[in-house]
Amino acid sequence: MDGQALVWWGLAGLALLLANWKAVGYRIRWALAFVGLALQLRYLAWRGLDTLVFSSPAVFVSLALFAAEIYSFIQLLLFYFQVARPTSPRADLEGLPRLPEVDVFIPTYDEPLEVIERTAVCCLGMDYPGKTVYILDDGRRPQVAQLASRLGCRYLTRPNNRHAKAGNINEALARTSGELVVIFDADHAPVRSFLRETVGFFRDPRVAFVQTAQHFYNPDPFQHNLLLQRVFTNEQDLFFKGIMPGRDRYNAAFWTGSGAVFRRRALQEVGGVRPETLTEDFHTSLELHSRGWRSIHLDRVLSAGLSPESYSGYILQRLRWAHGAFQTWWRANPLFRKGLSLGQRLCYYSSIHYFMFGWARMVFLLAPLAFLLFGWMPLRATPLELAVFYLPQMAIIQAVFPLLSGRRRLMPASDLYETALCFFQAPAAVKALLFPRSGVFKVTPKGERRQQGQFHLMMALPHLALALLIGLGLGLGLWRLQHGQANRDATIINGVWALYNLFLALGVLLVARELPQRRRSHRLSVGLACEVEALGATLPARTVDFSEAGAAIRLGAGSLPPVVQVSIFPPGRGSVRVAAAVTHSEREGDKQKVGLRFLPATASEKEALIRLAFGLGLAWQAERTPRVGFWRSLGYLAMLPLKAVPSWRAQRRRFPRSSLYLRAGLEGKGGFLWCYTRDCSQEGLGLVARGQGAPGRGQPVTLSLGEGRNAFSLAGEVAWAVVKGPWVRLGIRLKLREEQRPLWARRLARL
């Protein structure tokens, strides 16, 4: 056994070393993957033959754990099968005898108007002559009809909401006639070239639909609440940019609800969008493939949308997907559906099999507690046996998984996602399997805003209970060890296992603690050349981030008035000029970072900003997938509690302060006293005065500056006050009328 251990650990060590090497070739990756699978088969054989416990009641825990491990092995095999040979098809409009007419559908129900407007403006801006844009309003809102009229879109509605999104689209299909149909969710804005890069695939008469890679420009709840946006990719990136290109090899890529172009005749052949399940996209794709139609997955980001913006929205979306997947299992089981190839059957089955993870994850979370709390052994093994059979195969799988996923995911991150869902998903899966006709389509909330942080107690209650039970179990385990009442090896094994589960539970609790989301429009990280016109000068600058509502820019040091004119220059195109209010400014060495809120005077200016932010796709074309090294990524995960605590940051001022040392007079409720200025800006000053008689926070004051003919006074109020021994430091917020601001700016320049 010692010789075997050295061999297996040598292979595991090699895999762990290669996991951090960026130049690992295709053959080496798959060689390591097959070694890992062989070791996992060896491990499962050992588990089934030597470690199962058959004494009651531990037999139920032991068999459930073994079944969960078999499920995980099957899921890993299906994952390897799907990502083995990704495709990268391309097509253009060359060779088409004519350009087909295209109907663009934007189904909506209750999304905010600014979200719908963003998508509609970008759809109208697509570079394609024969298109008609329709807003399909299931909310029957007059303001949406007015928006459609103002933008130049067609507006369609219906008297009921039968079959939700599927019924909405089918109603529009019956009232339109374009040869091709494009479907965008209300929050998915396409780039200008969307149709020119997708319509060319329909020169093949067998193509039913083209699905493009979905991109989400906002951080998901895990990235946002754990402050890991710059470290890990969006939770859905692994599927859209890793799995779907591989499924295309087997003609098994399916419609994912948005960003797809359909041949109308193909939809009509299967009776339109299938309304029988909550995942109408998955079910419709299965029907099309079973009838011999072909699909294309175009691995290019040609539209961008919103991922769930809250933990509750994330749970709602995934439960709908799980319910719909099991409904499809009953109505159109891919394993027995006629017309599907073996590859298609396995790919579709994998999508359904995945949503059974809730049961397996619950077993992994609760199994060590069975021993720590009740003494029920989940398996019979020594630490040495686990070191020989379990650890080598797990080390190789942990190392190979990010290599095969394009470094988009680590296994512990997948464990965290599954832990967040399992307590909700497992009972939902049982309900869907027993009552497949149940379930109501619920729209994922979009455009959510939170001025303050909040904690989803009800959503986090199962994980809070799990964390408390693990703490109790670990305490009991230590007490029994101290009093010689427990098996030492078993307690250590289950204790380490429980500690890992505690880490996952605490991570979910941090995700359930929502951080504020104050912006209505998420900023896109893109650097664009721009110019700021202020005080008669034109200052060169560059954007740091950008949206149709505002931007952060970096430019040289200097004072700016409250409102400036900004001209933004996208590459290879004209410019967009708009007024902007200065919201804050921060010094960065010899430069300053300025926050702007755009003030478009006309609807055309606002639409130009939307097309600049989303229609050109500059942000996601320039975006690079975070590919943090294997060990560094593990370090980030291990430090989740610290990463989730926002670092202290000074309050951002609207205008940067400059040092200024002058004698000044301060008159307030307590009388007059002399003081000295420390710094100043266009909207405030910092002062130092004797503490006795100094005004308190919120009190109105009058400040006197200068001497003789240059003397002048300003009104203000105390924004803050800090006592330092006999002295007090004061922050004064000036109350300036609009006609006083230029005068104060000129006086500041002289001072």
| Residues noted as catalytic | 138, 281
Alpha helices in 483-563 (DSSP H): 488-512
Contact predicate 111/185, CB 8 Å: no
CB atoms within 10 A of CB 603: 12
Contact (CB, 8 A) for 213 and 625: no
Amino acid occupying residue 721: A
Asked if residue 396 lies in contact with residue 13, where contact means CB atoms within 8 angstroms, the answer is no
How many Cα atoms sit within 13 Å of 214 on the Cβ side?
28
- For residue 744, give the amino acid letter: W
| Residue-wise burial string across 346-381, b where 16 or more C-beta atoms lie within 10 A, e elsewhere | bbbbbbbbbbbbbbbbbbbbbbbbbbbeeebbbbeb
Q: Kindly give, in sequence order, each residue whose CB lies less than 8 Å from that of residue 214, ignoring residues fewer than 6 positions away.
A: 188, 236, 240, 256, 258, 259, 301, 303, 305
Cβ-based burial of 317 (10 A; exposed 0-12, middle 13-18, buried ≥19)? middle
The C-alpha angle with vertex 312 and arms to 311 and 313, in degrees rounded to 5, equals 90
Q: What are phi and psi of 309, to 5 degrees?
A: -95, 0
DSSP 130: S
H/E element, 551: strand 550-556
- For residues 351, 354, 358, 363, the Cα torsion angle rounded to the nearest 10 degrees is 160
Q: To which residue do tokens 């005065």 refer? A: 689
Which residues partner with 537 through β-bridges? 534
Cis-peptide into 656, omega within 30 deg:
no
CA distances in angstroms from 111 to 245, 385, 651, listed in the order given = 30, 56, 33
Burial of 56 (0-12, 13-18, 19+ CB in 10 A): exposed
Q: Which of 135, 128, 137 is nearest to 102 (CA)?
A: 128
Q: Residue 408 is encoded by which pair of tokens?
A: 């988009």
Contacts of 209 (CB under 8 A, 6+ apart): 255, 260, 261, 262, 263, 266, 285, 288, 293, 295, 296
DSSP, residue by residue, 637-692: HHTHHHHTSPPP-PPPPSS--EE---EEEEEETTEEEEEEEEEE-SSEEEEEEEST
Q: Which long-range contacts (CB under 8 A, 24 or more apart) does 42-50 make?
A: 42/389, 42/393, 43/389, 43/390, 43/393, 44/69, 44/70, 44/73, 46/385, 46/389, 47/379, 47/389, 50/380, 50/381, 50/385
Radius of gyration over alpha carbons of the chain, in Å?
A: 31
Q: Which of 237, 239, 332, 240 is nearest to 285 (CA)?
A: 332
Separation between Cα atoms, residue 115 and residue 111, nearest integer Å: 7
